[in-house]
Amino acid sequence: MAPALVETTLQEAVDYSKSGTGEYKEAFIGGPKAFRSDAELKGTGKQPPAKHPNYLPTWDAEKKYPPLEPFEHYEHGKDANPSFPNLLKNAEVIDLTANIGAEVHGVQLSKLTDAGKDELALFVAQRKVVAFRDQDLADLPIQDALNFGGYFGRHHIHPTSGGPSGHPEVHLVHRGADDTTARNFFEERTNSVTWHSDVTYEQQPPGTTFLYLLDGPIAGGDTLFANQAEAYRRLSPEFQKRLHGLKASHSGVEQADNSRNRGGIVRRKPVTHIHPIVRTHPATGEKALFVNPQFTRRIIGYKKEESDFLLKFLYDHIAKGQDFQARLKWAPGTVVVWDNRVTAHSALLDWDDGQRRHLARITPQAEAPYETSFEG
Ligand SMILES: [Fe+2]
C-alpha cells in the first residue's frame, strides 16, 4: 500500500518560525567579511595556499533566486541490489560502530555505474553515514562532481552560503588561513555542538548527501553523526505511538537573519515548512525521528510550553545517544556520504590555531517527508 502523504504546507495563521523553542546556533563565523583572498590564494607566513582554489567561496549579494518549486523525487535506493555487487565487489568495509557508520576503501565513487550508484544510495541509507577514502571527486572539474551528485536528486542551492564561481549548487564550508575566530566563539559559548539535519526548513529536504574535504586541520574538525532511526527505536512503543501523527514547523528564518547580520547573503526569501516528527525512509521503510534544534520550532497544535517540553526531550535523547552516534575523522581525499533523512550531524569547532578548513557539499534534494502508521 502506498504510504499516506502528510500535508506539509505552511499554516499561515501562526508564525511558527518564531513561536517555539529556537536554538539556532551559528558556530561558523566565516562569510564574505572574514574572507581574505590573498591569504587563500598565496598562503600566509603560517599557512599554505588553498589546495583547491577553484572551490574558494564567492558571494553575489545582488543575485536573488526564486522560491523552490516542488518536484517529483525518484529514489534510486529502491532499485538497488541489496547484496551491493556493483558497489562493494572490490571494497574493504569497516563498520565504525554497531549501528551507524562505515569506512570504505577500494571504491572510486566517480567511476560507479548507475547500478553502483543505486547501491550507494541504499548502502548509505542502511549504514546512515559512510566515509569513502582516497577519492578523486575534489580533483575533478566541479561540473563533473555536480553531474555525479545530480543522479541522486535535484541540486539544492543553499539560501545563505557562498559558492565556487559559477557553481551556486555547491555548498561550501570554509574557514580561511589564520582565522582564529573560534576563540571569540568560546568567549560566548561552552561548546560548538549544533545537532541538525541539513536545511529541514525546505519542503523537500536533502536525501543522499556528499561532503568532501578540500583542506583541513591536522587534528580536529571531526563531524558527529546520530542515527535517527535508532533514536526512534529506542523509545517505548507507547511513546512512539504518541509521536506518530504529530507534525512540527521547521524554520530557515534565523539562519537567514544570522547571515544578514554578519554581512552575508540571503539568496532566497526564508521559508518555514511543516513535517511529520516521525518520517519513513522510502527505500528501507525505516522510521526515523525528524526534529532538530537548529531548525525545528514548534509542534503543530501544541501550546508553546507543551511543544518546548516534548522537543527538548527529543533533542536531549538524540544528543545523549552516544550509543547510536559515530564520529567521522577527515583525511585528504575523503568523501563522506550520509542520508540526511535518517541522520543528524554536528560540526565541531575544536581547533583555533588558524589552520584552514575547507569542504564542499553536494546536496541532492529528496521527497517531502512522509510518515507511515505506527506498527508496534
Ligand atoms: Fe550540516
Distance 316 CA to ligand 1 centre (A): 18
Q: Tell me what pLDDT residue 183 has.
A: 87
**N-to-C CA span, the chain:** 18
Average pLDDT over residues 133-141: 98
Distance 358 CA to ligand 1 centre (A): 14
Q: How confident is the model at residue 288 (pLDDT cuts 50, 70, 90)?
A: very high
Domains in the chain with CATH codes: 37-62+72-362 (3.60.130.10)
How much of the chain exceeds pLDDT 90, in percent? 87
For residue 3, is pLDDT > 50? no
Q: What is the pLDDT of residue 319?
A: 98
How far does residue 375's CA lie from ligand 1's centre (Å)?
A: 31
Amino acid 233: pLDDT: 98
Kindly give the distance from the C-alpha atom of residue 340 to the centroid of ligand 1, in angstroms, as a whole number. 9
Confidence of residue 359 (pLDDT cuts 50, 70, 90): very high
Distance 345 CA to ligand 1 centre (A): 6
* Residue with the larger pLDDT of the pair 261 and 76: 76
d(CA 262, CA 360): 21
23 CA from centroid of ligand 1 (Å): 15
Could you tell me the distance, in angstroms and rounded to a whole number, from the CA of residue 299 to the centre of ligand 1? 22
Distance 376 CA to ligand 1 centre (A): 32
pTM given for the model: 0.94
How many A from CA of 235 to the centre of ligand 1?
25
- Measure 89 CA to ligand 1 centroid, in angstroms: 31
pLDDT of residue 27: 66
Give me the chain's average pLDDT, please. 93
- pLDDT tens-digit map of 16-73: 555 454 568 876 667 888 899 999 999 999 999 999 999 999 999 899 999 999 999 9
CB 359 within 8 A of CB 173: yes
Q: Is a pLDDT exceeding 50 seen at residue 247?
A: yes
145 C-alpha to center of ligand 1: Å? 19
Ligand 1 center to 198 CA (angstroms): 5
- Spatial contact of 117 and 152, defined as CB atoms under 8 Å apart: yes
At 33 the pLDDT is: 86
User: Which pLDDT does position 29 carry in this prediction?
Assistant: 63
**Residue 81 pLDDT > 80:** yes
**Rounded distance from Cα 194 to ligand 1 centre (Å):** 9
Residue 188: the pLDDT is 87
How many angstroms is it from 238 CA to the middle of ligand 1?
31
Ligand 1 mean position, distance from CA 134 (Å): 22
Amino acid at 303: K
* CB-neighbour burial class of residue 356 (10 A; exposed 0-12, middle 13-18, buried 19+): buried
Torsions phi, psi for 300 (to 5 deg): -70, 130
For residue 245, what pLDDT is reported? 98
Is residue 293 pLDDT above 80, yes or no? yes
Ligand 1: centre distance to CA 173 (Å): 9
Model confidence pLDDT, tens digit, residues 144-177: 999 999 999 999 999 999 999 999 999 999 999 9
Q: How far is the CA of 196 from the centre of ligand 1 (A)?
A: 6
* C-alpha–C-alpha distance, residues 275 and 284, integer Å: 19
The predicted model gives 237-262 an average pLDDT of: 95
How many residues are given for the chain? 376
